[in-house]
Structure 1
């Protein structure tokens, strides 16, 4: 130990910090920040911890959800914690009804478009408050990542400045899901429910937000999915890779659609596309229709997988809007490792048969976390004091954390103190890499 190192009154070293201490302190002070500012940063993204965790989470969820159905009585476990997280969306649905634009508010002097814009921005402000307060209620009190998770979640519903929504917002929700597992809020048993229940709630809410406020959809022109989201199609193909009652080419058949659209994400999305755009799938989404011409669902998945990596996860226009912090870190991984691919359909069954003799906990079918757990540094290790046990946070620390939340919101415009201090009165103004090691 450095003999010149100084100590505070409680005996904790407060000088000569390590790299880990400096990193943890920076996260505490700055909060989530944007990291992709030039095309050169795409190479850093490919080597980042966040990228590897994102790929691992997508692959693990794809493998876990195959053969499961989305029904009113799901055939997968739904924990109490998962139900609490779903309640966040109940509140957001209620806010959407409460702040829907009213026809009587529009007239010659105030066009309908301006009414929708104003209503959307009001909903966004209330959504900010709702997300942070409900996360605080839903998540166990000793979690130190509520603010980071809240930042990811609140950026999942579009942009109140540009009035659009796209893959960057969906990626933020994917960061939110991944972060829930990284910090231990959700466990291995929640993997299927997170993909088929919580993510489905998000998809349907965003669909309503777009329809209510007439938001524009942004996407890469090379993307094969002409929609605000991509993952429901990717995971929808994975879901159908085992025990599918129909082939990819039967998706647009009316009988198949009516019988199974409540159970499968892929059919739910296709049904919405056809109804909202008024035409057959071959007319309203030709590239998707072409992908569905292959004979098996694992083949559909591989085609969608490559397109998602090339035209979403490595789209500069998408990544420049994404924020990173402690759970989803932009720092390079310390030990590069080969990512396990998502084995689907017959490949999954073959590997399962070959692993029957493995020890418990080693088999492919054994429940495991979709991403690695993140061990957060305790505040006393870099703040120089010991945090009182059994206490969540003081009012002062809560206010400090809200300061950087407001600073982040101010970058987008439209932020006001009332978003984070609801009890106070304030004046409001209105193909670099391919699933690298995951290819077939």
Structure 2
């Protein structure tokens, strides 16, 4: 164990009571407000909007470039008969983790070794799960936590928010699409195939805000292939639709029924408001996702109800592999779902189109 290993962020939430305790905490308020602030910074602005890029913002972008460049050294291994995650991802993950231990203190020399460890933990865990070779909204949330930690440390500030969402977050999503494509990351949980997207949520939340002031584009525009082709580079929401269309041959009605339903909303403002409600309920409000949320000194939490009954043991101490097995939307340990990217590349698209139970959940966009 390294000198600062005990200071690294770790999972603690085990029960619904733990989650409710967290949702009343200052850390939860900071986290949600940070997401809302980034959303506001994206409001009505395209990805190419001219915004200030501080030295810290540029450093984050350089770190993401370095993380991407390491992929060349760890190509996928021959795995032609499987549509599940490629095991070469684990070697890549380990290499990135070692590289970040050097790169982050180089780019942010004012950080202490303990702070470097915390920041690095959120960033490496934003790339996916090393063991399961999967990715989901919880990993995406780790990237937001990485940015929030830099904010709390004073590395970035409020004036950086437009660049953090329109440059840094967009760059992160592009990186993750490459990682997902290269290593065939599986959707984290058995229900991602019928949600918004197999992997991501926040591009839709930030992307709807980008489109909320547009004079001509409407939610139903996602069904117009010419519009998607024309505007995908400008708006996160439309870029996400373009990616889905590139890996799934079925229409959105079948491949992403929730997105199809949302397209009937009257305005992008309604979609934007609904995305926030859905995110707080379906991501920040679900134990199967939030049981993996990492707490440290930068994102702290007082003693949880489950810890009071267990002598202070953490979630990792109390459970196998640090998580519990539950059913529901966002289930992290459900039936393994093959990568739709793998299916597309192997010309076997179309097997994963049905909604579990036959009826999608109600959505807050009316």
User: How far apart, CA to CA, are the structure 1 residues paired with 2:214 and 2:197?
Assistant: 28
Give the 3 Å change call, closer, same or farther, for CA 245–82 of structure 1 in structure 2: farther
Pairs within 5 Å for 1:225-244: 225-244=196-215
User: How far apart, CA to CA, are the structure 1 residues paired with 2:216 and 2:63?
Assistant: 33
User: How far apart, CA to CA, are the structure 1 residues paired with 2:278 and 2:195?
Assistant: 7
Pairs within 5 Å for 1:26-425: 29-71=6-48, 74-103=49-78, 113=82, 117-142=86-111, 145-219=115-189, 221=191, 224-331=195-302
Render the CA deviation track for 1:71-123: whole Å, top value 9, x for unaligned: 3xx411111221111011111111112211255xx6xxxx7659964311110
User: How far apart, CA to CA, are the structure 1 residues paired with 2:266 and 2:182?
Assistant: 37
Contact preservation (8 Å) 1:67, 1:239? yes
User: How far apart, CA to CA, are the structure 1 residues paired with 2:16 and 2:81?
Assistant: 39
Q: Paired residues, what number?
A: 303
RMSD: 2.7
Contact preservation (8 Å) 1:128, 1:154? yes
* 3-state DSSP of counterpart to 2:213: coil
Contact preservation (8 Å) 2:126, 2:142? yes
**TM-score where L is the length of structure 1:** 0.64
Contact preservation (8 Å) 2:101, 2:120? yes
Contact preservation (8 Å) 2:87, 2:133? no
* Distance apart, 1:260 and its partner CA: 1.0
* Distance apart, 1:329 and its partner CA: 1.6
Q: Structure 1: any 5+ residue segments left out of the alignment?
A: 1-26, 333-410, 413-438
Give the 3 Å change call, closer, same or farther, for CA 282–160 of structure 1 in structure 2: same
* Distance apart, 1:29 and its partner CA: 4.5
Give the 3 Å change call, closer, same or farther, for CA 264–235 of structure 1 in structure 2: same
User: How far apart, CA to CA, are the structure 2 residues paired with 1:242 and 1:114?
Assistant: 40
**TM-score where L is the length of structure 2:** 0.76
Give the 3 Å change call, closer, same or farther, for CA 220–68 of structure 1 in structure 2: farther
User: How far apart, CA to CA, are the structure 1 residues paired with 2:32 and 2:208?
Assistant: 16
User: How far apart, CA to CA, are the structure 1 residues paired with 2:89 and 2:170?
Assistant: 22
Structure-2 residue corresponding to 1:402: none
